[in-house]
Chain A
């Protein structure tokens, strides 16, 4: 290393002025962004009527509710709740699967390495973005009006919103695939389907499967929520018991949901590891 004192600072400064004379604007960028974020935060607190007093009163109430929740007890409704939980899981699974099945072909069309032309790709991307931009809950309200109350509306809601999200994620996975492997197939005399089947799929399948598992996990939660607005499943039971203030049943339902989500987490973790293989994890 050169000793600090021996450095000819002036010469270096003359040769690389950009490094030494950073413009004021770039030096102030971070502090001003921080100040801006803080201002927005404070404005939000005031605007939304955040009040510590109301929170303290609320905590008092929360304590009461928590006490009434103990011990969790399903009463005579356990079979009903189990069936409802099964329904919620089915909604999540079917919705995710439907979304993925439709998203995959569309994601090919949205990937730059498959459809190089911006002209054709752009509308497909925007279409996916638009669908994705509407939340599952809103799709659920829409579908309940179209096909009526019940799990079918839930499946459609999840399938549609995740179709947009998965389509985008899949197309990014496809764009990230190694071109050389696809080229190897083409150079050997494979057609476009071969290139996708043998060059692309082996590369993107683990990514896609991982994303589907993750979406299934998170859709178990979504399916509970859209159940509350009438799309069937355990969410419906939960909303009902909160309305009639059956706190012990509420706590039991919450417990069921927590356990189900934890189990899915665990299983999908194992599955993901099995699919991706020990090599990619290392």
Chain B
């Protein structure tokens, strides 16, 4: 169970996330939606502790992870795996090494720094790559891969962290429609197959409705919607996006992102 209590993050006087509270039971696939600038990324980054909360707490299975430091902090980061819009792979390292980065919190530092990866960890990394059909790319440099392939490598890295929760920050915003589907399906599969909680920032409402079993809507740093997708009526959705548009952009209309053609789930998700 992930519990967020009154979480706030200020940059100067501006609150990027403002008193957010929610709790997420294990195994859920939760979408965080809202306009650009609503505070979605900051929220996820605080949970992984890449961003420092100004106030509020994050509890995981009753433990306050906002207070962790040093080795315990790094182990929490491994347990709350992050997936980024820009993949954040190391371009000049090969794919296998990039995936092995997900083992850093577990392996003794002298071994990882000398790149003496234990056999078992290599095997774990290769099997993760195999699951996303990119085992054959293991020896390639990450920056020579397509965007869709890079994001799958990033998901493999997240998976070998053996996380309890995956935090995906707009994982498909840099991808074309076909790869969007591949990556979202991969996340869904991890969620259903391994029971790993997924918390996923999404720009597209259609994707959010298709994949998530719960949506958290954010506007101007505050949580303004938290329910199953069916409850997100067009009216609320428009409010969610327009409310802030009026605030920030002086009334200029903001379009809900264009439809991405995502066929109904089934084969791919169950595979």
Contacts and interface: CB of A to CB of B under 8 A. Distances in A.
Interface in A227-282: 279
Contacts of B112: 194
Interface in B77-130: 77-78, 81-82, 84, 86-93, 97, 101-102, 104-105, 109, 112-113
A205 B112 CA distance: 18
Contact of A189 (B84, B88, B89, B161): B161
A190 B104 contact: yes
A279 B143 contact: yes
B77 A188 contact: yes
A185 B143 CA distance: 16
A193 B75 contact: no
Nearest to B154: A184
A183 interface: yes
B77 A187 contact: yes
A194 B106 CA distance: 13
Contact of B90 (A181, A191, A206): A181
B144 A279 contact: yes
A200 B265 CA distance: 40
Nearest to A206: B92
Given A185-B104, A188-B102, A190-B105, A202 B50 contact: no
B10 interface: no
Nearest to B158: A188
A194 B143 contact: no
B109 A185 contact: no
A183 B50 contact: yes
Interface string A205-231: 110000000000000000000000000
A197 interface: yes
Contacts of A202: 90-93
A184 B161 CA distance: 13
A190 B101 contact: yes
Contacts, number: 83
Interface string A169-189: 000000000101101111111
A188 B86 contact: no
Given A187-B48, A202-B93, A180 B109 contact: no
A167 interface: no
B192 interface: no
Contacts of B89: 181, 184
Interface in B23-82: 48, 50, 74-75, 77-78, 81-82
A190 B161 CA distance: 11
B161 A188 contact: yes
A199 B113 CA distance: 12
A201 to B, nearest CB: 9
B157 interface: yes
B255 to A, nearest CB: 28
Given A183-B50, A185-B101, A191 B88 contact: no
A115 B84 CA distance: 25
B92 to A, nearest CB: 4
Contacts of A205: 92
Contacts of A90: none
Contacts of A198: 90, 93, 97, 101, 104
A180 B84 contact: yes
A194 B88 contact: no
Given A181-B90, A199-B90, A188 B84 contact: no
A186 B101 contact: no
Given A186-B50, A186-B77, A190-B74, A203 B92 contact: yes
Q: Which of A178, A187, A199, A279 has the most C-beta atoms of chain B within 10 angstroms of its own C-beta?
A: A187
Contact of A194 (B92, B104, B157): B104
B47 to A, nearest CB: 11
Contact of A188 (B92, B143, B157): B157
B50 A184 contact: no
Contacts of A206: 92
B103 to A, nearest CB: 8
Given A186-B77, A188-B101, A198-B101, A193 B88 contact: no
Contacts of B78: 188-189
Interface of B: 48, 50, 74-75, 77-78, 81-82, 84, 86-93, 97, 101-102, 104-105, 109, 112-113, 141, 143-144, 154, 157-158, 161
| Chain A to chain B: the 9 pairs with minimum beta-carbon distance, closest first | A189-B105, A184-B88, A189-B78, A202-B92, A187-B82, A190-B104, A189-B74, A189-B77, A180-B88
Given A180-B86, A189-B102, 18 more contacts: A181-B89, A184-B88, A184-B154, A185-B101, A185-B104, A187-B88, A188-B78, A188-B82, A188-B104, A189-B77, A190-B74, A190-B105, A193-B109, A194-B101, A194-B113, A198-B93, A202-B90, A205-B92
